[in-house]
Amino acid sequence: MFDKIGIVGLGLIGGSIAKAFKNRVGTKTVVAFNRNEDVLKQAYDDGVIDKYTAKIDSTFSGCDAVFICTPVDKIYEYAEMLVPFVKSTCIISDVGSTKGRVYDRIKLISDKFYYIGGHPMTGSEKYRYSASKEHLFENAYYILAPDERVPQSVCAMLYDAVIKIGAIPVMVSPYLHDYIVASISHVPQIIASSLCNNVKLLDTPQGHMHKIAAGGFKDITRIASSNPDMWESICFENREQIFNVLSSLEDVVKRLKDSLSKGDHSGVHEFFDEARLYRDSFSNITPGSFVKRYEIVIDVLDKPGSIAIISVLLSSNNINIKNMSIVNNRERENGVLYVSFDSEQQRQKSISLLREMNYEVQIKD
């Protein structure tokens, strides 16, 4: 089905889709448009794309699918530009962080192609093609929000392709999507940026806060390094839902302020305890995966080769490491290396091997 695909916008996500479809879906031809022609030339030299263009034209003819990987306020514009060139059975998808307003606009022309909105719940603060990778979507939710007129068989084809690139497809309506991501993605981005702006505002002339900020602050504000153009677009595209979630957040913060002003120790304790219990109730799974992962935390020394030794020990005993991540601080965690496995049997075997090597290992539930 996906012998030829097109990419509009060859950044982190667009580049990663191109790489993943070529190497995992078996796509033979990838064509691309990007405003920066240097990026197109680089991707062509890398063998990631087979043909490129500096404008939307017949280069996209014959595509089985085209992924529009631009800021959300540009998605409709590019979809409209594609109409004269794509076949009626072409799937037009996107990777935007909002769906409702895009969906409302594209309905006007969606009889010209099959529109299936998409949102891979992955990425990083790095947003250029140079950061793209074939495995970017592994174990990540990939939300699909199809036009109601798209046949189930067509949805199933993209659904299966998403599985092949390593992601976990989830079907929802465009409007439910926007309500969900406003709460778990958009407002958290606003909070991270607000924390950075607030510390900058409150810092001493000598920059004490900037110098001392470490561990937890850097972790919670990491996403504040994201592309401001993208987030400006997202905020206006999903303005109504973001307003609703921010209003709820204001009520939550006000509750804490009221407890503090009244000297209500139990109220303050309850505030933090409720958050702790809810956070601890999250399934022990790799971020973005429906599949349960069995995790351990290993206390390792910060020296060259530490992680390599553990990796070799486990792999030489036929233990597959499903995911591994480094904790950049020890403020709240015991250990600095998370490792996850597919089964409890593999987790227990790894614990035994590591403890025999005198590593301090804890089960992460």
Q: What is the pLDDT of residues 66-88, one digit of tens each?
A: 999 998 889 999 999 999 999 99
Secondary structure of residue 256 in the 3-state scheme: helix
* Mean pLDDT for the stretch of residues 269-285: 82
Tokens of 309: 């030794």
What is the predicted pLDDT for the residue at 340? 87
Over residues 325-346, mean pLDDT: 69
Stretch 149-173: mean pLDDT, rounded?
94
**Mean pLDDT throughout 213-237?**
84
Residue 114 has which token pair? 């099959």
Judging by DSSP bridges, how do beta strands 337-341 and 323-326 pair with one another? antiparallel
User: What does pLDDT average to over the chain?
Assistant: 89
pLDDT digits (tens, 9 = 90+) for 11-33: 999 999 999 999 999 999 999 99
Output the pTM of the full model.
Answer: 0.70
- Relative orientation angle of helices 239-261 and 187-202, to the nearest 10 degrees: 50
pLDDT of residue 123: 66
pLDDT tens-digit map of 338-356: 888 878 899 999 999 999 9
Sheet architecture: strand order including 360-364? 323-326, 337-341, 294-299, 360-364
| The predicted structure's pLDDT at residue 81 | 98
Say what the pLDDT of residue 250 is. Answer: 96
Residues 6+ apart with CB under 8 A from 170: 141, 142, 143, 144
> Is residue 320 within 8 Å of 284, Cβ to Cβ?
no
Q: Is the pLDDT of residue 287 over 80?
A: no
In the predicted model, what is the mean pLDDT of residues 194-199?
93
Higher pLDDT, 8 or 229: 8
Q: b/e map of 291-328 (b: 16 or more CB within 10 Å)? A: eebbbbbbebeeeeeeeeebeebbeeeebeebbeeebe
Q: Residue range 207-233: average pLDDT? A: 84
Burial 207-226 (b: 16+ CB within 10 A, else e): eeeeeebeeebeeebebbeb
Cβ(221)–Cβ(81) under 8 Å?
no
Over residues 161-176, the mean pLDDT reads: 93
Residue 329: pLDDT band with limits 50, 70, 90 = very low
Instruction: Tell me what pLDDT residue 124 has.
Output: 56
* pLDDT for residue 334: 47
Give the pLDDT confidence of 28-68 residue by residue, as tens digits.
Answer: 999 999 998 999 999 999 999 999 999 999 999 999 999 99
**Between residues 50 and 214, the one the model is more confident about:** 50
- Reply yes or no on whether the pLDDT at 264 is more than 80: yes
Q: Give the pLDDT confidence score for residue 365 in this predicted structure.
A: 64
| 88-139 tens-digit pLDDT | 999 999 999 899 999 999 999 989 999 999 999 886 555 689 889 998 998 7
Work out the average pLDDT over 262-280.
93
What backbone phi and psi angles, to 5 degrees, belong to 235?
-60, -40
CA 10 to each of CA 72, 256, 270: distance values in angstroms, whole numbers, following the listed order: 15, 44, 47
**Can you say how many angstroms the Cα of residue 65 is from the centroid of all Cα atoms in its chain?**
21
Residue 291's pLDDT band, with cuts at 50, 70 and 90, is low
Cβ atoms 331, 216 nearer than 8 A: yes
* pLDDT score of 285 more than 60: no
Q: What is the pLDDT of residue 71?
A: 87
Rg from Cα positions in the chain: 23
